[in-house]
A and B are shown apart, each in its own frame.
Chain A
């Protein structure tokens, strides 16, 4: 009985806090995506020939994000019947968008106007006691091109 109460408390706490955190995070992601609209992240390997000879700098952005108890519980139920694990999909989506935004933030601090050759890497860095994935790390990196004044080239 005590176990059930503990589980119920964890589920409620996970649901409430997880929901608040996710809503807040999505709101901030959307705002910042709008803000960095002028700085495109391009996944082409090499910039077009017409691109002027800018300075190139490696920029990275990373985030480690964890799923809440409620969502992990849902996911473990989902493994019984199979199918889409929606609760993890939003976790990965948030992490990738956040990583790209942090990379753009770094690029902005160098005064870049484009980021080329974006690579995204995902790793599950920590596992909880039962061996289930608790948190994931997403790294986004690319080459920022910073415009250089023609006379300094």
Chain B
């Protein structure tokens, strides 16, 4: 399964468009991480816990999107976009969407 955020796949011909596919996940870290994060707010610097959390959940969102694409018989997802929103304190929704296509 090819995933790309371009509108075309170089060297491949798009045979069929199957429409929008999406994947999303809402995640939060345990309280310990939040306490660490609030300490970091004094010292400054990278919040490794949150970076990890967000990249993990983004992978999960992409996986769900791929599953959806696979289920409708696509072999690639093009024009993928990401979006992030914070639902409540410490919880974030990661959302990925794109167009499922069949490549020749």
Which residues of A come within 8 Å of B, CB atoms? 10, 13-14, 17-18, 21-22, 25, 45-47, 51-58, 60, 62-69, 71-72, 98, 116-117, 119, 121, 123-128, 134-135, 137, 139, 141-143, 145, 153
B55 touches A62 (CB 8 A): yes
Complex interface bits, B42-86 against A, C-beta within 8 A gives 1, otherwise 0: 111111001100110010001000000000000000001111111
B17 within 8 A of A: no
B7 within 8 A of A: yes
New A-B contacts (5) at CB < 8 Å, excluding given A17-B45, A135-B47: A17-B43, A25-B45, A47-B6, A51-B10, A66-B37
Which residues of B come within 8 Å of A, CB atoms? 2-12, 37-38, 40-47, 50-51, 54-55, 58, 62, 80-86, 89-90, 92
A145 touches B54 (CB 8 A): no
Evaluate whether A125 and B86 lie within 8 angstroms (CB atoms) in the complex, with A65-B47, A116-B6 already known: yes
Q: Which residue of B lies closest to A24 (CB)?
A: B45
Q: Which residue of B lies closest to A67 (CB)?
A: B44
Nearest-neighbour CB distance to chain B for A85, whole angstroms, equals 15
List chain B residues, Cβ under 8 A from A46: 6-8
Evaluate whether A64 and B89 lie within 8 angstroms (CB atoms) in the complex, with A21-B44, A22-B44, A56-B6 already known: no
- Alpha-carbon gap, A137 to B50, bound state (A): 9
B82 touches A66 (CB 8 A): no
Evaluate whether A121 and B89 lie within 8 angstroms (CB atoms) in the complex, with A134-B41, A142-B5 already known: no
- Alpha-carbon gap, A18 to B43, bound state (A): 6
Nearest-neighbour CB distance to chain A for B38, whole angstroms, equals 7
Q: Which residue of B lies closest to A144 (CB)?
A: B4
B5 touches A58 (CB 8 A): yes
- Alpha-carbon gap, A13 to B5, bound state (A): 43
